[in-house]
Structure formats: structure tokens, C-alpha cells
């Protein structure tokens, strides 16, 4: 099966808006991280880095140390 990063980006954008509106901070951080990864894959590096930073800030605020590790790793690859 072929993977379409642009379809994934579209879905992640919708999911991010929904998790943000619902106040689901853990899901917001997770989705921001995944959207950042997908954006990085298509060369939208500035937006990806901003989303990684957003995920880091949320994960720090909620004490998600495991998530912080994943996002720090993602930013190191970016």
C-alpha cells in the first residue's frame, strides 16, 4: 500500500484542532508531534520545528516525561 504524507498531514491537522478544542493536552501534544514528523518528511521544516516546540511545551507542562523523550528525539532528527 502506498503512503500519502499529505493525506496524513490533513488528518493530523484535523485531529490537532479537535484535541486542542477539547482541552485534551496529552492528545494535543501527541498529535502535534506526529504532525511535525509528517511535515518534516515533506520538507515543511519551519512548521515542523514549531510543532515540535509546541509538543515539548505541552509535555513539559503535563509532566509527560516519556513523551518528552520522544519529542526531544524527533527534534534531534529534524
Give pLDDT tens digits for 31-75. Answer: 999 999 999 999 999 999 999 999 999 999 999 999 999 999 988
Buried b (16+ CB within 10 A) or exposed e, 40-53: beeebeeebbebbe
pLDDT at residue number 77: 75
pLDDT computed for residue 55 by the predictor: 98
pTM for the whole structure? 0.91
Residue 78 has pLDDT above 80, yes or no: no
Amino acid at each position: 500500500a502506498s503512503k500519502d504524507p499529505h493525506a496524513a498531514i490533513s488528518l493530523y491537522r484535523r485531529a490537532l484542532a479537535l484535541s486542542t478544542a477539547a482541552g485534551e493536552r496529552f492528545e494535543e501534544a501527541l498529535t502535534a508531534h506526529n504532525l511535525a514528523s509528517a511535515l518534516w518528511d515533506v520538507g515543511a521544516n519551519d512548521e515542523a520545528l514549531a510543532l515540535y516546540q509546541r509538543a515539548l511545551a505541552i509535555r513539559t507542562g503535563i509532566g509527560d516525561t516519556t513523551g518528552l523523550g520522544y519529542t526531544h528525539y524527533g527534534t534531534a532528527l529534524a
